[in-house]
């Protein structure tokens, strides 16, 4: 039956069937073959979606959309520019810093690129950065949207991993890896800009540091920057759960856009709601069918068989993590991040636990690998969004992406083999 499950899944993928339908139909095919009532399929799909923690996903999506449609990204960009804009490769580094700020609001990679790319890519080009390099910087920076908390893929992982994983612990565990990746991207931009003379101001026209300008931009961005503090502080302060934190984020975003900045009108509010409903429906449909698929996997003892396979190769956690990284990078090239998590997490997370790898650490490894998959053709969503904004084709930025691929691979190895990068902060609260 296991062969039928995965062969039918692969066949559906090759036929271009959407991931959610492919998982659901594959699972139903195995159930019919085994004489299981289709009523069980409906029950499993419903029970998977009937989850209080899952409510955090639509709330975080809506909060990010409200912030985006309220023009918050302009304030974050101004603050980041005042902070690091005078450094060599300034606007490229501003892109990374702004992506960090917006990632701490939206929880989505594509939303981060859409919110700041339309402003910063043209600005970088005007400053003398090549278009392909500007687009590559934006695409690479966008992956921070799913690594720095709050992160929608982290919520999906926590609910589908097959072992008990705290969403709050995953959130806090993503902070140091997110900072590490951001710092490595900024260093890469600095070195490439210095070497190639990108974005250099004519002699005598360089902007000077002005504390007053920095202070003013910090005040303008104060309330948006306060949002992640409220979310994470509330969760770890025991004030509210991650789901309640997401609801608080929606209320905070609405008040900020409607009454503080007064930039949220009826039109962009309806647009934010429409985008949120569509994104939520897609994610929930995938999760529901993934629950059915995971139930069949468990019934067929697939995690046990996978564990036996890996142990037959080597009983070393080092070798296991290397193989897992290669697998995740390959899968990330062809599947969307959420779909990859709901298919792979229930299989590999229990196996990782048998190798003595903490589920929180493994979750961060999985999400960072799949975030890099957002930058790799043929299904790299970050590349498509950034190229659409820049008005160029994906093949035009592949060369510019190569240095970022190398740096991100090094980051993956560091995060994989230095578990304290992920586990130190969560350990402080235990």
pLDDT digits (tens, 9 = 90+) for 197-220: 887 654 444 556 677 878 888 888
pLDDT given for residue 78 in this prediction: 85
What's the pLDDT tens digit per position in 291-300? 888 788 777 7
**What 3-state class would DSSP assign to 355?**
coil
**How far is the C-alpha of 189 from the C-alpha of 176, rounded, in Å?**
20
pLDDT at 360 over 50: yes
pLDDT given for residue 200 in this prediction: 65
pLDDT given for residue 205 in this prediction: 45
* Cβ atoms within 10 Å, residue 280: 18
The helix (H) or strand (E) run that includes residue 74 is helix 72-84
What's the pLDDT tens digit per position in 328-348? 988 887 777 887 888 888 889
- 392's tokens: 């160029």
pLDDT given for residue 400 in this prediction: 92
* Cβ atoms within 10 Å, residue 294: 25
pLDDT at 378 over 70: no
**How far is the C-alpha of 250 from the C-alpha of 309, rounded, in Å?**
45
pLDDT given for residue 412 in this prediction: 96
Where on the phi/psi map is residue 238: left (φ > 0), alpha (ψ -120 to 50), or beta? left
Largest CA distance in the chain: 79
pLDDT given for residue 381 in this prediction: 77
Pair 121, 392: CB distance under 8 Å: no
Decide which of 26 and 201 is more confident. Answer: 26
For helices 317-332 and 337-354, give the axis angle rounded to 10 degrees.
170
- 145's tokens: 């949207």
Banded pLDDT at 379 (limits 50, 70, 90): low
**How far is the C-alpha of 121 from the C-alpha of 400, rounded, in Å?**
14
For residue 134, which phi and psi values (nearest 5 degrees)? -60, -40
Pair 361, 402: CB distance under 8 Å: no
Pair 372, 329: CB distance under 8 Å: yes
Place of tokens 């350990």: 427
pLDDT given for residue 204 in this prediction: 43
What's the pLDDT tens digit per position in 85-144? 778 778 899 999 988 988 887 777 877 887 788 888 888 888 889 999 999 999 999 889
Decide which of 108 and 228 is more confident. Answer: 228
Non-local CB neighbours of 204 within 8 Å, separated by 6+ positions: none
Where on the phi/psi map is residue 391: left (φ > 0), alpha (ψ -120 to 50), or beta? left
How far CA 158 is from CA of 29, 271, 295, 366, in Å, comes to 27, 29, 16, 12
DSSP classification of residue 144: G
């Amino acid at each position: 039956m296991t062969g039928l499950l995965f062969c039918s899944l692969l066949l559906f993928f090759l036929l271009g069937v959407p991931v959610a339908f492919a998982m659901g139909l594959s699972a139903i095919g195995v159930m019919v073959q085994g004489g299981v009532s289709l009523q069980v399929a409906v029950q499993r799909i419903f029970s998977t979606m009937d989850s209080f923690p899952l409510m955090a996903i639509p709330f975080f999506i809506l909060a990010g959309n409200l912030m985006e449609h309220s023009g918050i990204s302009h304030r974050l960009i101004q603050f980041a520019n005042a902070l690091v804009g005078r450094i060599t490769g300034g606007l490229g580094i501003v892109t990374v810093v702004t992506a960090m700020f917006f990632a701490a609001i939206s929880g989505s990679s594509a939303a981060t690129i859409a919110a700041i790319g339309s402003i910063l890519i043209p600005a970088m080009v005007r400053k003398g950065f090549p278009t392909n390099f500007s687009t590559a910087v934006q695409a690479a920076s966008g992956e921070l949207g799913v690594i720095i908390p709050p992160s929608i893929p982290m919520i999906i992982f926590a609910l589908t991993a097959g072992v008990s994983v705290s969403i709050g612990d995953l959130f806090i565990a993503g902070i140091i890896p997110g900072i590490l990746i951001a710092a490595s991207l900024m260093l890469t931009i600095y070195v490439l800009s210095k070497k190639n003379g990108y974005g250099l101001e004519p002699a005598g026209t360089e902007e000077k540091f002005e504390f007053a300008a920095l202070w003013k931009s910090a005040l303008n961005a104060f309330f948006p920057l306060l949002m992640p503090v409220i979310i994470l502080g509330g969760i770890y302060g025991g004030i509210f759960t991650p789901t309640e934190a997401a609801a608080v984020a929606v209320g905070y975003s609405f008040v900020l856009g409607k009454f503080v900045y007064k930039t949220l009108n009826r039109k962009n509010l309806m647009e934010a709601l429409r985008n949120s409903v569509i994104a939520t429906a897609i994610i929930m449909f995938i999760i529901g069918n993934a629950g059915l698929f995971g139930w069949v996997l468990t019934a067929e003892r697939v995690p046990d068989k996978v564990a036996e396979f890996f142990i037959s190769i080597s009983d070393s956690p080092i070798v296991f993590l290397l193989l897992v990284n290669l697998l995740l990078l390959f899968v990330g090239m062809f599947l969307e991040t959420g779909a990859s998590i709901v298919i792979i997490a229930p299989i590999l997370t229990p196996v990782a636990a048998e190798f003595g790898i903490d589920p929180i650490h493994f979750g961060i490894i999985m999400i960072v690998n799949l975030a890099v998959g957002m930058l790799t053709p043929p299904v790299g969503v970050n590349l498509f969004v950034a190229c659409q904004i820049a008005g160029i084709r994906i093949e035009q930025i592949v060369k510019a992406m190569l240095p970022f691929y190398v740096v991100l691979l090094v980051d993956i190895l560091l995060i994989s083999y230095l578990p304290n990068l992920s586990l130190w902060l969560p350990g402080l609260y235990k």
